[in-house]
Amino acid sequence: MLSKGLLNQPVISLRSGGQIATALEPVINPHNLKVLGWWCEGPGGRREVLLVDDVRQTMPNGLAVNDESDLSLPEDLVRHGEILNTRFQLLEKPVKTKRQRLGKVSDYSYNEGMFVQKLYVARPLHKVFTSDDTLIIDRTQILEVTDHYILVRDTEIKATAEEVARAGAAVPSG
């Protein structure tokens, strides 16, 4: 499932049958890239948090919860306070290897356990003309996640000197 399904979703109460809030954006734990819940806008514009554990069902038209009591004020979620205060954003985060900058996260997919599985990285404009415009990075390739960037394993395979010589001989000069 792609990240677009985590943004701006109605939160629907099964008890009342109506919308009680809007899930604006996901709360992501930067240490393990797990979606913990959503920042929501409740009645009167109040900022609240809906934890994944409180969602009864994910539907095409929103997130179903029992009732309003499933929404929490951030200060009431002491156990998740550090992550909530971090306000970690995955979209638009720069992605790089130890040798080069690859681009920025344009989208991501997540699994049933709400762990980010793949990062879709939009390449800088000057690299779009020389290769594919989007890189797909699996979570197993991620080495480090910081507030400023995501470091991934460099997957380029280095050619041996013999392979380079053979490739050079195969290219006609002129």
User: Is 2 within 8 Å of 55 (Cβ atoms)?
Assistant: no
Residues spanned by the domain of 148: 94-152
What's the whole-number average pLDDT of the chain?
Answer: 86
- CATH code at 69? 2.30.30.240
Least confident of 15-29, 82-96, 126-140: 126-140
Residue 80 has pLDDT above 70, yes or no: yes
Determine the Cα–Cα distance for residues 146 and 47; give it in Å rounded to an integer. Answer: 25
Could you tell me the two tokens for 143? 């080495």
Domain count, the chain: 2
Do 46 and 104 sit in the same domain of this protein? no
Residue 160 has pLDDT above 70, yes or no: no
pLDDT at 150: 96
Mean pLDDT, residues 144-157 taken together? 85
What are the φ and ψ backbone dihedral angles of 46, each rounded to 5 degrees? Answer: -70, 135
Is 29 domain-assigned? yes
Sign of CA dihedral 33, 35, 41, 46: negative
